[in-house]
Amino acid sequence: MEQKQLTEKKSNETEKVPIFGSWKGWYIFTVCFLLALILFFFTLTTIFND
Amino acid sequence: MTNLDWWVLFATLSGIVLYGMYKSRGQKNLKGYLLADKQLPWYHVALSVMATQASAITFLSAPGQAFRDGMSFVQFYLGLPLAMIFLCIVFLPIYHKLNVYTAYQFLEKRFDVKTRTLTALLFLLQRGLSTGITIYAPALVLSHILDMHIYYAIGIIGVAVIIYTVYGGTKAVSYTQMIQMAIIFSGLFVAASMAVSLLPDHIGIVKSLKVAGAAGRMNVLSFDFDLNNKYTLWSGLLGGFFLQLSYFGTDQSQVGRYLTAKSVSESRLGLLMNALIKIPMQFFILFIGILVFVFYEINPAPINFNKAALTRVEQVVDANEFSQKLQEYHEAENQKHNAALAYAEALDTRNETVIAQTKKDYQLKHQASQDERTSINEYMQQHDKQLDLNDSNYVFLNFVTNQLPMGLVGLLIAIIFLASMGSAASGFNSLASTTVIDIYKRWLNKKELTDKEDLRVSRLATLFWGIFCVIVAINASKLGNLIEAVNILGSLFYGTILGIFLVAFFIKRVDGVQVFIAAILAEGIVFASYSQDLVEYLWLNVIGCGAVMLISYLLSFVIKSRKVEAN
């Protein structure tokens, strides 16, 4: 069982992840994108809403 | 609708249905029918999960919601990217590894059959009702345009979607959703550019946003930490996270989409694309609602956007009295239009005093017009008890049919149909998957079926749920804003379902009996919180999920676990 999980982990590690090279890179990018959107919404609210 | 519009509508819809049937021909077994043979690439997954979530309600209600309440609804989606990341890390690898057809199969492996069945039944109830509402929404369009009774419209749509879904299975759903999303995106850009082009030359997008902001419609973000404030940054991030995690992680209508991918990586990439695209798309749809709002701030708006209801009322009220009231409303509207234009022009002067004065004047005139409208609508409701004061579902439709050029009206109406077909098809398909895999093959007929029998049972289940959803749609007209109705319905069940899954993943000491009792108690707490109006609906997801986790954990100390006994 442990051997099987190890093999699977290895295959996941060696799989080619597009653009950022790792899934961790994708997750960080997604969080940064969300923060940028929140900042954009905050700016819109501050400038336009009364 | 001109002949050209009808042709555009007919060609778009029939083209999509034929394409779906062509791509899904030759279904041979259950895996092909329910999982598209697990052969689809990431972009299919991305577009399919988006099309499933973006129903016709999204395109009908969301612009109307921005028109009446502003942009705050976009905060509802803020938890989605975080939920997608969580899903990619925790849920996805397990589903793929266990090679399941439905999410609920995993629960039997982790707990027991009764927990799996309870969760599947909660899903069937919630999704059956929600899919009914997604059929009702475009039926509203048909009845509005063709001046036919809504029941006939529901029947026509329901039957069309049933035929197409029963024949094609998951493959047809996925292929058609890909084309549907492409058409939907193009149509939205066209609608937005038309809305901008209909504004006067001297009022561009920035001035439009200033006018909308003066009327309180640019409330995109709120830091208010009030549990009774429906849409805030916190309810969106926290409540939205739990709702979206539950929806994408445990609702078979979504799980069934990404289980069709070739591999975990393809599913993962598809879900992350959804995380990146969904909020900008929803913002854009609400933004169209804001443009429509500004259009009607400087152009005459009907007293109620539901034309059919207005015509009905006109037949029962005193004509002179009603005409007098309308006259007063139009006068208030005219004053508002002039004040809005004066404010927009004042923005060019850069004179702060003039800007402040014209803005104050516009705000007063806007409020006066709103008050006049509310008072007349209440007067109308006294004469017609059926009249819905909330006409937000009709705002965008009214704008499209009255203001857009011929051909485009047909395209925009087709988009609403396509969106509805996409999400209803996913709904039927997932309801059938759960019925066949978690109920029929698990309880009613445990013997091995041939591929042909499997297909026949799946098609019959799809047909059954299609008819059920049509019946729900017939009774859906009293639910107010449709997009909220669907989300409230989801929030009543999703928290509990998510709680069961999170216990399965993270609290190893809890077993089937403990989580089963906790789920029933949690559902009671959620219903009590909702019926007593204790919190706004997004928080119900947090309450349901938290209650299942906490109660089952506490119960694990009180009720002896079978695992412990076995040891």
Average confidence (pLDDT) over B383-410: 82
**Could B275 and A15 be called an inter-chain contact, meaning their C-beta atoms sit closer than 8 Å?**
no
pLDDT (mean) for B294-306: 91
Q: Which residues contact B381 (CB under 8 A, 6 or more apart)?
A: B387, B389
Query: Best interface-test mutation with A: which of B74, B82, B85, B286 has the largest number of A CBs within 10 A?
Result: B85
* B82 CB within 8 Å of a chain A CB: yes
A33–B contact, CB cutoff 8 A: yes
Rounded to the nearest integer, the mean pLDDT of chain B is 88
Q: With bands split at pLDDT 50, 70 and 90, how would you rate the model's confidence at B475?
A: confident
Q: What is the average pLDDT across B43-65?
A: 86
B275 vs A30, A45, A49: nearest CB: A30
Does B272 contact A38 at a Cβ distance shorter than 8 Å? no
Q: What is the pLDDT confidence band of residue B145, given thresholds at 50, 70 and 90?
A: low
pLDDT digits (tens, 9 = 90+) for B165-186: 888 888 888 888 888 888 888 8
Query: Which pTM was predicted?
Result: 0.86
pLDDT reported for residue B27: 81
Question: Averaged over B228-245, what is the pLDDT?
Answer: 88
d(CA B493, CA B498): 9
CA B62 to chain centre: 9
| Nearest partner of B140 among B321, B397, B338, judged by Cα | B397
- Chain A residue nearest residue B96, CA to CA: A8
Q: Which of residues A44 and B183 earns the better pLDDT score?
A: A44
Of B213, B222, B264, which has the smallest distance from its Cβ to A48's Cβ? Answer: B213
What residues are paired with B40 via a beta bridge?
Answer: B261
B4 touching A (Cβ < 8 Å)? no
State residue B567's pLDDT score. Answer: 41
Q: Is residue B230 over pLDDT 70? A: yes
For residues B386 and A15, give the distance between their C-alpha atoms in angstroms, rounded to a whole number: 60
- Nearest 10 degrees: Cα torsion B301, B305, B308, B309: -110
- Residue range B124-140: average pLDDT? 86
Q: Is the pLDDT of residue B53 over 90?
A: no
- What's the rounded Cα separation, in Å, for the pair B477 and B488? 16
Could you give the ipTM of this predicted complex? Answer: 0.84
Predicted local confidence at residue B347, as pLDDT: 92
Cβ-contact B142, B157 below 8 angstroms: yes
Give the model's confidence band at A1: pLDDT under 50 very low, under 70 low, under 90 confident, else very high: very low
pLDDT value at B386 more than 80:
no
- Amino acid identity at B474: I
pLDDT grade for B464, boundaries at 50, 70 and 90: very high
Chain A interface mutation, best of B218, B248, B290, B363, highest count of A Cβ atoms under 10 Å: B218
CA B313 to chain CA mean position, Å: 30
Per the CB < 8 Å rule, is A41 touching B268? no
Give B338-359 pLDDT, tens digit per residue: 999 999 999 999 899 999 999 9
**B243-297 residue pLDDT tens:** 899 889 989 999 999 999 999 999 999 999 999 999 999 999 999 999 999 999 9
pLDDT above 80 (res A7): no
What percent of chain B has a predicted confidence (pLDDT) above 90? 51
Residue B55 or residue B475, greater confidence: B475
The Cα B418–Cα B314 span in angstroms is 34
Residue B561 has pLDDT above 70, yes or no: no
The fraction of chain B above a pLDDT of 70, given in percent, is 96
Residue B268's closest chain A neighbor by CA? A23
The architecture CATH gives domain B3-296+401-566 = Up-down Bundle (1.20)
Where is pLDDT greater, at B389 or B414?
A: B414
> How much is the pLDDT for B146?
67
Alpha helices in B1-112 (DSSP H): 3-23, 30-35, 42-53, 56-69, 80-86, 92-98, 103-110
Q: Which of A8-12, B360-364, B443-447, B540-544 shows the highest mean pLDDT? A: B360-364
d(CA B302, CA B382): 19
Residue numbers in A near B265 (CB within 8 A): 15, 17
- Contact criterion met (CB < 8 Å) for B219 and A31: no
pLDDT given for residue B566 in this prediction: 45
Q: What residue has token string 């001297």?
A: B202
pLDDT reported for residue B114: 92
Residue B365 has a pLDDT of 96
What residue segments make up the domains of chain B, in order of their start? 3-296+401-566, 307-387
Q: Stretch B369-398: mean pLDDT, rounded? A: 85
Quick check: B55 pLDDT over 80? no
